[in-house]
Amino acid sequence: MAREPYALIYHDGLHVRGGAERVFSYFLRFFEEVADLPYLVLTLTEINAFPYVRRLAKEKPHNFLTLHEAFKKHKILYVRLVRLLQTLYGVRKTRGKPRLLLVTKGVSMPHFTNLVGYVFRDADVKLLRLPDLYELNVLTGYSPQLHEKRKISLAPARALNRLLAKSYNFGDAHFLANSPEMKEAILKAFSSLKNRVDVLYPPFDDEFFYPRSGLREDYSVAVIGRIHPSKNTHRALDIFREVKEGVRGAKLYIVGDVGDDRYHSWLIKEVAERDLSDSVTIVTDGRPEVLREYMWRSKVCWCLTSGYFGITNVESLACGAIPIVLPGSRSSVGRFGYVASNNREFAKLTVEILMRQTDWKRIIDGYRWVKGAFSQRAFFNRLHEIFKELGIL
C-alpha cells in the first residue's frame, strides 16, 4: 500500500522568537493555506515561538514532533545523536520517505541537522533555507561550530560533522537565499550550486507594521532585535556617542529579547560607565507590539549585523523609522533606507536624518514599496513558483 506523500519540515530550535522562527511561521501558513501537501514538523526544543506556531502545535499535535524531553536529560552529544537517529528511523518506518525535506533552520545544531539529512537523503526534493553564508559553511562541514564543548573535544566533532555532511549528499539539494546579496555570496563560495539557488525574501506582516504619526520622537534612534553578541548591539554605543556630539537630546532605544544574559549585563554596565544612562534605554521585551511601538517612536533604526537582508529593516521602514544598514542588507531597504559601511558613516547619516524635518511622503512611499515586495502574498506567490519549478506541487 502506497504511503501518503508528505513534507518533513526541520527547524532545530523553536524555543525562541527570532527572525528565523518568524519566517518558519510563514512556511507553516503556506502549507496550511496554499500547498496541498501534508507536513510533519520536527524540532529539537520545546515550542515557544510565535502564537500562530504554538496554536497549530496545540490544535494539530500529530503534525509536530519535538524531542526536547529526551534531549534535555542528556548533555552528551553522542547520546543525543543516537536518540535522534532512533526517532528519525521511527518516522521513516511509519511515514516512508518524504516528498520534500525542508530545512528552515539548522545551523545552531549542525550535527543533528546533517543526521536528519542523512536519514532522509533520498527525499524527492531537498530544500534548505539559508539566512547567511555561515549556515552553508556549517551544514556542509566546512566550518562546524561546537556547542557541547564540555563533553567532547573539538577535533572529533569536526570529523563527525564532515562525515554527516558528506552522507547528506548536498549534490542534489536546492537552496533558498533570503536576498540577491546572499545568492551572490553563495555562488561565489560554491560555484557548483549554479541553477540550484533561488531567492525567497522573508515576509513581514503588512497589516501589523505600518506608519503612524503622533508617537515620533524627533531625536530618537532604535536598535531592534535579540540582544546577543552576534547582533553587534554593543556597536550602537560607539556610534551613538558620535551622534550625541551632533544632536543635543538624542536618545537610543535597544529593544529585544535577551539572547545572552552575560552580554546583556555587560551592555548595562557599559551604558553606565560611558555615562549614557540618561539617553540610552534597554528594553528586554521582544513581543511584536513592543518592537512596533519603538519603531513608531524612533526616527532612525540601525541594523548592525553583518548578515544578509534583515526583516527588521523592512518592518522599521514600514513603521516610518528610516533604516541605516550595512551593505549586505541593501536589498531590504531599497532606495528608502540608507547604507553605511562603518561607524562614522552610520553617525553622519543619523545626524543628518535627525536634524531634518520628517519626510512623510518618503515614509508612505517606503511603506507601499515594502508592502508590494515583502508581503505575505508576495512570499506565498514566490514560494509557490519555486515549488512548481521543483515539481513539489
Residues 393 and 100 sit within 8 Å (Cβ to Cβ): no
Reply yes or no on whether the pLDDT at 153 is more than 50.
no
* Average pLDDT of the segment spanning 58-77: 81
Higher per-residue confidence, 80 vs 286: 286
- The average confidence (pLDDT) of the chain is 86
Instruction: Please report whether residue 300 resides in a domain.
Output: yes
Please report the pLDDT score of residue 188 as a whole number. Answer: 79
What DSSP string runs through 273-327? HTT-TTTEEEE----HHHHHHHHHH-SEEE----SS--HHHHHHHHHT-EEEE-G
pLDDT value at residue 81: 80
Q: Are residues 228 and 315 in the same domain?
A: yes
pLDDT band, residue 152 (cuts 50/70/90): very low
Asked whether residue 84 falls in the same domain as residue 52, the answer is yes
Give domain status of residue 208, yes or no: no
Report whether pLDDT(76) > 80: no
215 assigned to some structural domain: no
- pLDDT of 135 higher than 70: no
From the list 47, 39, 54, the residue with the least C-alpha distance to 6 is 39
Domain assignment present for residue 103? The answer is yes
Distances in whole angstroms, Cα of residue 8 to Cα of each of 43, 122, 195: 11, 12, 23
Task: State whether 333 and 384 are in the same domain.
Answer: no
Separation of alpha carbons 36 and 183, rounded Å: 28
Query: Pick from 162, 161, 186: which is nearest to 176 by CA?
Result: 186
Let me know whether 265 and 197 are in one domain.
no
Comparing 13 with 39, the larger pLDDT belongs to 39
Of 96-100, 192-196, 355-359, the least confident: 192-196
pTM: 0.83
Of the ranges 74-78, 144-148, 205-209, the best mean pLDDT one: 205-209
How many other β-carbons are positioned within 10 Å of the β-carbon of residue 61? 10
Please give the average per-residue pLDDT across 143-147, as a whole number.
40
Task: Let me know whether 165 and 35 are in one domain.
Answer: yes
Q: Is residue 357 part of a domain?
A: yes
Provide the 10 A C-beta neighbour count for residue 1: 2
Average pLDDT over every residue of 136-157: 47
Task: Mark whether 65 and 90 lie in a shared domain.
Answer: yes
Asked if 175 and 246 sit in the same domain, the reply is no
CATH number reported for the structural domain that contains residue 15 in this entry: 3.40.50.2000
Is the domain of 46 the same as that of 66?
A: yes
Judged by average pLDDT, the poorest of 136-150, 234-248, 320-334 is 136-150
Is the pLDDT higher at 160 or at 205? 205
- Specify whether the CB–CB gap between 211 and 320 falls below 8 A: yes
Cell, residue 35: 500547498
User: What is the residue range of 186's domain?
Assistant: 7-203+375-389
pLDDT at position 148, please? 37
For residue 95, name the pLDDT band (cuts at 50, 70, 90). Answer: very high
Rounded Cα distance between 194 and 197, Å, is: 7
Answer whether residue 149 shows pLDDT above 50: no
Q: How would you class 134 by CB atoms within 10 Å of its CB: exposed for 0-12, middle for 13-18, buried for 19 or more?
A: middle
**Residue 163 and residue 229 in one domain:** no
Residues 163 and 304 in one domain: no
Per-residue pLDDT band for 28 (boundaries 50, 70, 90) equals very high
Residue 151: its pLDDT value, please? 38
- Give residue 115's pLDDT band: very low, low, confident or very high (50, 70, 90): confident
Same domain (yes/no): 48, 197: yes
Least confident stretch, 5-19, 198-212, 270-284, 374-388: 5-19
pLDDT of residue 77: 72
Q: Is residue 211 part of a domain?
A: no
Residue 226, pLDDT above cutoff 60: yes
pLDDT band at 98, cuts 50/70/90?
A: very high
Asked, for residue 212, whether it belongs to a domain, the answer is no
Local confidence band at 146 (pLDDT 50, 70, 90 cut-offs):
very low
Residue 213: inside a domain? no
How many distinct structural domains can be found in the chain? 2
User: How many other C-beta atoms can be found within 10 angstroms of the C-beta atom of residue 355?
Assistant: 11
Residues 14 and 31 in one domain: yes
Q: Which of 181, 257, 256, 188 is nearest to 222 (CA)?
A: 256
Q: Say if residue 49's pLDDT is above 80.
A: no
Residue 324 neighbours by CB under 8 Å, 6+ apart? 300, 301, 302, 303, 337, 338, 339, 340, 346, 349, 350
DSSP code, position 171: G
